[in-house]
Amino acid sequence: MLISCRESKPTNANYHNAKALYEAAQIFNTRDKSDSIVLIDFRQKEDYLAGHIKGAINITRKEVQDTTAAISGIKLDKVSFEKLLQRKGIINGYRIVIYDDKMCCDAARLWWMLRINGSEKVSLLNGGLQNYINEGGELVTEVTERKPTFFKFAARGIGLEAKRQLVSSVLNKDGWTIVDARSVEEYTGKIFSKKCKKKGRIPGSLNIDWSYSVNYHEDQKFKSAEKLVGIFKLNGISKDENVVAYCRSGVRSAHTTFVLTELLGYPNVYNYDGSWLEWSSLDELPIELKAI
């Protein structure tokens, strides 16, 4: 099913790119046919089948992972990803709106993959599925069927990806900041990051938990631009810096990448796909493990 709705005035006009966020009200408003979207439910299949937004298709995290990679969770290559989107019925030129039930944490991973491969019209549903329900949205169980398409990435993607070699080359280098988007317990080594080989963090990295960017215990939406600016400026991260974000597997750090680029307009932000899963597995790479 094709959903058509109006791009109404954003909740917070101070975001760098207000269209990067879609609101529940825009999903409800189907009277104006001025903009066409493809709605993606980025959750497990069983969750999708239990109830989803009408018209949404389902893509799971496993479907966008390279199962042949030595590190689990690594993204699909461009060609394989393109073929997946073709099978799912994604149409060139339509706005892609993604949601999950984790305050856009998982959804941001798919946003990142689309953006680095050249898609420009990609948005996250602000507040995710829970906010949609809280605002009166109803769920359906009918599976949305879309015919396969000949989807092609229209252009070269933007530079939002960091490889291990880049990260290791900029450790403690002027003009570069590395942001650890994990919990403080993972960052300090109090607990292991799941399936990782060692405790600790990348040397010199700053800890800014991804969840600080959302109203975690309230409406689950992104915080205002003013509050987000405060969070990152308080930690000394300016727009003049090159920023590398990482977490355990490049998912939470994709959320941080979304916040910095789309909501705050930082020009040079890179998500480290392998993240701590890869870094901790290589003995030649340095780690930092001490209390802060």
What are the sequence ranges of the domains in the chain? 3-140, 161-279
255 pLDDT more than 80: yes
209 pLDDT more than 70: yes
Task: Judge whether 105 counts as a catalytic residue.
Answer: no
Give pLDDT tens digits for 67-87: 999 999 999 999 999 999 999
Measured CA distances, 209 to 23, 31, 167, 276 (Å): 24, 39, 19, 14
In which band, very low, low, confident or very high, does the pLDDT at 292 lie, cut at 50, 70 and 90? low
161-279 and 3-140 share a CATH fold: yes
121 pLDDT more than 70: yes
Give pLDDT tens digits for 186-198: 999 999 888 899 9
Fold category of 3-140 in CATH: Oxidized Rhodanese; domain 1 (3.40.250)
Give pLDDT tens digits for 31-74: 444 458 999 999 999 999 999 999 999 999 999 999 999 999 99
Q: Two tokens at 25? A: 């009200």
The residue-averaged pLDDT of 212-235 equals 95
In which band, very low, low, confident or very high, does the pLDDT at 1 lie, cut at 50, 70 and 90? very low
- Residue 53: count of CB within 10 angstroms of its CB: 23
SS3 (DSSP) at 197:
coil
Question: What pLDDT score was predicted for residue 31?
Answer: 40
Fold category of 161-279 in CATH: Oxidized Rhodanese; domain 1 (3.40.250)
Q: In whole angstroms, give the CA distance from residue 47 to residue 265.
A: 33
Determine what percent of the chain falls in helix, strand and coil, rounding each to the nearest 5.
Answer: 30, 15, 55
The one catalytic residue among 5, 104, 196, 247: 247
Question: What pLDDT score was predicted for residue 192?
Answer: 87
Measured CA distances, 240 to 169, 176, 216, 262 (Å): 19, 9, 29, 16
Quote the percentage of the chain above a pLDDT of 90.
86
Question: What pLDDT score was predicted for residue 13?
Answer: 57
Average pLDDT value for the chain: 92
- Residue 283: count of CB within 10 angstroms of its CB: 8
Question: What pLDDT score was predicted for residue 30?
Answer: 56
With beta carbons less than 8 A apart as the criterion, state whether 292 and 188 touch. Answer: yes
Q: In whole angstroms, give the CA distance from residue 164 to residue 258.
A: 20
Question: Could you tell me whether strands 176-180 and 206-207 are parallel, antiparallel, or unpaired per DSSP bridges?
Answer: parallel
